[in-house]
């Protein structure tokens, strides 16, 4: 099995739960924040929806300068949010399909002012973005949904609002 295959399989398992959470986001409340230090609902939703698209950036390049990052804007509709997520997932799957083990082992770096801030093997960076970071932000979003009294979907098992998928 190729190194990236384990990440791809886990990503395929996690993506439907993330999509279910995104489908519940009440975009009419996009500016809402649970705390002044927290991301707004819309910004968090946009990040979660667009994050899978980073797989193409990680797979095809050796790094990224943080100064080039443009924050994602809040989506205009649930359909737009889910379309962005679906497109990012397709891009992630396509990007991972192109990586052989040598490329997966190659280093990838976040850069700030031309200096590496974090360097990891490409496969580890893919796992960080596609899984760890997405799961973290999905958990944040599930708390936002609860605080807004929006039914929280099943993620790994039943939620207080619905049974398992």
HEC string of 57-102 equals HHHHCCEEEHHHCCCCCCCCCHHHHHHHHHHHHHHHHHHHHCCCHH
Would you kindly state where each structural domain of the chain is located, as residue ranges?
3-147
Confidence (pLDDT) at 69? 77
Topology of domain 3-147 in CATH is 1.20.120
* Mean pLDDT of the chain, nearest integer: 93
Q: Which of 153, 10, 165 lies closest to 92 in space, CA to CA?
A: 10
Question: What pTM does this model have?
Answer: 0.92
Sequence-distant (6+) residues with CB within 8 A of 164 are: 154, 157, 158
Spatial separation of the C-alpha atoms in residues 67 and 48, rounded to whole Å: 20
pLDDT digits over 94-133, tens only? 999 999 999 999 999 989 998 999 999 999 999 998 899 9
**Which two tokens mark 46?**
């946009």
């Amino acid at each position: 099995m190729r190194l990236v295959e384990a990440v791809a399989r886990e990503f395929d398992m996690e993506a439907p739960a993330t999509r279910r959470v995104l489908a519940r986001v009440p975009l009419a409340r996009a500016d809402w924040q649970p705390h002044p230090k927290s991301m707004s609902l819309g910004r968090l939703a946009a990040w979660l929806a667009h994050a899978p698209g980073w797989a193409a950036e990680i797979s095809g390049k050796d790094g990224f300068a943080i100064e080039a990052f443009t924050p994602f804007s809040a989506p205009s509709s649930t359909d737009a949010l889910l379309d962005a997520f679906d497109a990012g997932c397709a891009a992630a799957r396509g990007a991972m399909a192109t990586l052989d083990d040598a490329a997966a082992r190659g280093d990838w770096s976040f850069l700030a002012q031309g200096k590496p801030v974090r360097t990891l093997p490409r496969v580890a960076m893919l796992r960080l973005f596609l899984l760890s970071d997405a799961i973290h932000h999905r958990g944040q979003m599930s708390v936002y949904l609860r605080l807004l009294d929006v039914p929280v979907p099943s993620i790994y098992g039943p939620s207080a609002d619905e049974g398992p998928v």
